[in-house]
Amino acid sequence: MLRLRWLGVLCGLVVASVVQANTAEQIVRQALLSMQPDLPIEHISASPMPNLYQVQLKGGRLLYASADGEFVLQGNLFQIENGQANNLTERAERKLLAEQMQGLNKQEMIIFPAQKPQTYITVFTDTDCGYCQKLHAEVPELNRLGVEVRYLAFPRQGLAGDAYNNLVNVWCADDRLDAMTQAKRRKKIASKTCKNPVDKHFALGRTIGVQGTPTIILANGKIIPGYQPAQQLAEQALKAQP
């Protein structure tokens, strides 16, 4: 009988802790939405630091809040282990971004496959961007080194104009790989319209903070904001396993 009483007490404590956690998450959510009603909250959970909650926003960005919702901070959370500072925020954001990129529809990308694939990079690109053109000229070398290149569209001037139309033409072409290569060589490609993901890719890029092209995302979610030579980029990509 005594054992059963203790079991009942333990069950009560577990239920109380779950209710308390749910209540804290609700309090944090309500506090943040009262401050900014359109804040794109996707998930709230306890952070590695006691009494601090981690708020995941759409696109993988993180905020932190106290359990009562009174204090909110934006920045990096570090944990000191064996004298080393580990950036927990960066680690979590990379993991979320890597999962997001891995979950994208490959049929909506333009993919240049590696000869013997070992990893991949996801690249937000604009065919009118000089450094995008320079990077594309080195795609064969990246492929030879085992790096698959997955392109997403990101018209830097927005959803209108020549750059936008060029990307639509590329994504609607019968041979999208050849069209991408010709466009990056400043060759004129046939005008064509179809159901395409250019607008969707642009919105995704804005959500995760893309500001220019090329923006390169490695398989582990690390962002490289700009061109890098093929050898240097491949070395990083091959080390960046999910």
* Known active-site residue 174: no
Tell me, what DSSP letter sits at residue 187? Answer: -
The residue from 29, 61, 132, 172 that is catalytic is: 132
**Residues ≥6 apart with Cβ < 8 Å to 198:** 153, 155, 159, 164, 167, 168, 171
Which residues are bridge partners to 66 per DSSP?
Answer: 52
Task: Answer whether 124's CB lies under 8 Å from 215's CB.
Answer: yes
The neighbour count for residue 43, using CB atoms within 10 Å, is: 12
* Known active-site residue 126: yes
* Known active-site residue 144: no
Pairing of β 110-112 and β 119-125: unpaired
The residue from 61, 126, 128, 172 that is catalytic is: 126
**Residues ≥6 apart with Cβ < 8 Å to 241:** 119, 219, 220
Which residues are bridge partners to 79 per DSSP?
Answer: 86
Q: Which two tokens stand for residue 69?
A: 């919702």
* Known active-site residue 162: no
* φ/ψ (deg, to 5) at 187: -90, 145
Angle, to 10 degrees, between the axis of helix 198-208 and the axis of helix 162-172? 120
Which helix (H) or strand (E) segment holds residue 158: the answer is: none
Looking at the annotation, which residues are catalytic?
126, 129, 132, 156
